[in-house]
């Protein structure tokens, strides 16, 4: 079963959007490389002073391998948002609770 990976950065979400608008080819290259490592789904989200990266991967190892290969290409996105700390990925497994709704449940 796949895992959801979350990364939370303290920073300016508008900086991520600016970087993406100014560097669409770099964003696409990172995404394409992630897909080659098994990425199933990916989104950035923003809130006041926070950036959330939310991905679905086949397993934690697939993400960790991708991130190790692409860290130098990912770092400028974080820098554009004023991120100073190193985020720690959290891997989530789906709980079987019998009350699924939406997303193809």
Asked whether the beta carbons of 51 and 45 are under 8 A apart, the reply is yes
Mean pLDDT, residues 56-60: 97
Tell me what the pLDDT averaged over the chain comes to: 94
Coil/strand/helix, residue 11: coil
Mean pLDDT, residues 91-103: 92
The architecture of the domain spanning 3-92 is 2-Layer Sandwich (3.30)
Domain boundaries, the chain: 3-92
Give the CB-side neighbour count of residue 55, counting CA atoms within 13 A. Answer: 23
Mean pLDDT, residues 63-68: 96
Residue 105 has pLDDT above 90, yes or no: no
pLDDT of residue 78: 92
pLDDT of residue 87: 81
Quote the pTM value: 0.89
Distance CA 18, CA 20 (A): 5
Report residue 86 as tokens: 């190193």
Coil/strand/helix, residue 50: strand
pLDDT of residue 74: 94
The greatest distance separating any two alpha carbons of the chain, rounded to the nearest whole angstrom, comes to: 44
6-35: pLDDT as tens digits: 999 999 999 999 999 999 999 999 999 999
Distance CA 23, CA 17 (A): 10
Mean pLDDT, residues 37-49: 96
């Amino acid at each position: 079963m796949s895992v959801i990976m979350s990364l939370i950065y303290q920073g300016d979400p508008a900086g991520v959007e600016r970087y993406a608008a100014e560097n669409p080819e770099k964003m696409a290259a990172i995404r394409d490389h992630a897909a080659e490592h098994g990425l199933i789904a990916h989104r950035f989200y923003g809130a006041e002073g926070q950036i959330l990266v939310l991905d679905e991967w086949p397993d934690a190892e697939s993400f960790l391998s991708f991130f190790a290969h692409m860290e130098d290409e990912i770092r400028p996105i974080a820098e554009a948002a004023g991120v100073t700390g190193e985020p720690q990925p959290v891997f989530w497994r789906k709980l079987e609770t019998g009350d699924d709704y939406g997303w193809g449940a």
